Amino acid sequence: MIQRIILSGGGTGGHIYPALSIYHRLKELNPQLECLYIGSQTGLEADIVTKANIPFEAIQIQGLKRSLSLENLKAIWYMNSSTRKVKRLIREFQPDVVVGTGGYVCAPVLYAAAQSGYPTLIHEQNSIPGLTNKFLSRYVDRIGICFQEAASGFEKVSHKVRLTGNPRGQEVVNYPMDSEILSKQYGLSDSLPTVLIFGGSRGAPAINQAAIQIIENLQGAPYQVIIGTGNVHYDDIMLELKQKHREIPDNVRILPYIENMPAVFGALDLVVCRSGATTLTELTALGLASILVPSPYVTSNHQYHNAMALVDKGAAVLIEEADLSAEKLLEQVNRLMSQPEAIAQMGQQAKTLGIVDATDRIIEVLNEIAE
């Protein structure tokens, strides 16, 4: 049984929450578990992890630029100095295993652990591996992947690869659902079909604009719609609607942020969203139909490839951002919401892609390398 673990992952919630899911499941299995989280002081992890009451150590790190830049010299210096600091932390903490769930901060942590002879695992959430995990793949003991398509990115070290899924899937499946959450949280009907349109926790301007341009067309629709704009966009969106004298129909709610997302997901029929790894994990675990609008602003266009893993199986519809318009969004939403059997079929296909025991699969691999 694992007694001591070092976790690392940072930059976005998609890297941090899988690490926390692993921690919570291990803690459930072994209440005596001790954990150290190593991250960046400037990343989201500094706030999220400390609020979870997990001991946290910060290191300095930044990514390499793809073009020639003096910033790359600084990145190399940070890598070397942080690796030295991590080796000291590892010697002091003496972990059974070290796990990295993505982001630049994992590079010195997992590299130092591997060089020091400790069992190591990296977790790749996307269908196309990131640069940090590709670098670390040469040194770590195991590589957990969420999409089978990601295996081709680790072809030279294929013997290390395990299809584990994303821990977030196991978490949302076991999350307590509330059949009255729509009425309690939003004053909507608990019996009407419901669509959620959102662009992630921070929102997506392109999705927001398409969504607010169709709100008047939603008046009298046989379904209801929740639009999550993201905190940073909400005030501007509401001001725009006010200035243009656009009324919000009774069956539409516009919110800055979706609280209690797993429970809300359980009450939905269709989701319009980006195709980040964590979101797709939740959709497939719960068997939700979706219209995916991949972000074109991510490394290696990985959100497009994430989306296609669902589209190719009939589990989702794709609208690329360049093709996104109010007309196209309304057309696709109306088409699907008028065909409940099609939505049900998409949901079933999504569920076949979900891995609902991902955390346990990862822990099985960790126990294997820790022996």
The binding site comprises 12-14, 126, 201, 258, 303
* Nearby residues of 174 by Cβ (< 8 Å), 6 or more positions away: none
- Provide the pLDDT for residue 5: 98
- Output the known binding site for UDP-N-acetyl-alpha-D-glucosamine: 12-14, 126, 201, 258, 303
Residues 200 and 139 both lie in one domain: no
In this structure, the answer to whether residues 317 and 232 fall within a common structural domain is yes
User: Is the domain of 140 the same as that of 196?
Assistant: no
Domain CATH for 64: 3.40.50.2000
Domain identity same for 276 and 336: yes
Q: Output the DSSP codes for 73-139.
A: HHHHHHHHHHHHHHHHHHHHH--SEEEE-SSTTHHHHHHHHHHTT--EEEEE-SSS--HHHHHHTTT
13-45 pLDDT tens trace: 889 999 999 999 999 999 999 999 999 988 889
Q: Does residue 69 share a domain with residue 42?
A: yes
**What pTM, to 2 d.p., does this model score?**
0.88
248 and 114, same domain (yes or no): no
Residue 120 pairs with which residues in a beta bridge?
98
Q: Do both 222 and 300 map to the same domain?
A: yes
Same-domain status, 153 and 271: no
Mean pLDDT of the chain: 94
**pLDDT digit string, tens, across residues 330-367:** 999 999 999 999 999 999 999 999 999 999 999 999 99
**Same domain, yes or no, for 45 and 69?**
yes
Q: Are 200 and 218 found together in one domain?
A: yes
Residue 231 shares a structural domain with residue 122: no
What's the CA gap between 173 and 171, in Å, rounded? Answer: 6
**Domain of 31, in residue numbers:** 4-166+356-370
pLDDT at 278 over 70: yes
Tally the domains of the chain.
2
188 and 47 within one domain: no
